[in-house]
Structure 1
């Protein structure tokens, strides 16, 4: 697959500045980077974003993530590789990514499970990072960014 254009964010310096600020905010709220990485990978799998799945999984592996957990992210409910907090984050990521799949996009029990494990700043980071991942996924899908390519 060939990309249609250079990633739009790389073409607009002000966009890169904004993206970097959101990245910094989400990653400085006290939430474990591994949790942010898991929700990024899961949302990217759902959206079929090969560039984000590839780069996310590679980054997670470089950070020391195990193959068992990497291979099981799409089937997180059926494994015991993830903590209860990670499961709550993954479920929130799935609901926040599949907004149109149900009338109540993020039901109270899903939110409450996440709120049980994360403080308000961590929840804010989680929601922002899920939304940012979906943002990246959509840019990459529209412009057909191939896996294995770096931008910016």
Structure 2
């Protein structure tokens, strides 16, 4: 499958994304939690480049293979903290908005609110949105994960 366009992001878009990235990563949410949220949303959306980049980034930050391999089955594994589980549940609901009438039910939000401050929750929601933004661009334009990573 060939990409439909070679570069889906213009320089102005890249600047805007960098500002959103900085905002999401400056609110005090552990980087590992944001990486897991990114991976889970990207798995749901089937975004190869985001999964590849996210897994590589997480590994560079010291993430374990066990946790990376288990993100899709986070409910059935013992590898994640309560805070990470709350963030992953929120990521799933916010990514699958059309799957139910109440897209992000109160119990899911409340579980996340018990684990994170309001600025941290805002950052997680922003990061979920940014991830979904990238997923939609990459999937729509058929971007591929790199094949040559040295």
Following the alignment from structure 1 to structure 2, what is the Cα–Cα distance between the partners of residues 46 and 8? 21
**Equivalent of 1:18 in 2, 16, 19:** 16
Q: Which runs of 5+ in 2 are unaligned?
A: none
Following the alignment from structure 2 to structure 1, what is the Cα–Cα distance between the partners of residues 48 and 11? 24
User: In the alignment, what sits opposite 1:92?
Assistant: 90
- In the TM superposition, what are the counterparts of 1:1-152 in structure 2 within 5 Å? 1-9=1-9, 12-148=10-146
TM-score between the two structures when normalised by the length of structure 2: 0.95
Total equivalences in the alignment: 148
Task: Please identify runs of 4+ aligned residues in structure 1 that moved more than 3 A.
Answer: none
Q: How far does the alpha carbon of each residue in 1:97-116 deviate from its partner, in whole angstroms, 9 at most, with x for none?
A: 00000000000000000000
Q: Which runs of 5+ in 1 are unaligned?
A: none
User: How far is 1:82 from its partner?
Assistant: 0.1
Pairwise CA RMSD of aligned residues?
1.2
TM-score between the two structures when normalised by the length of structure 1: 0.94
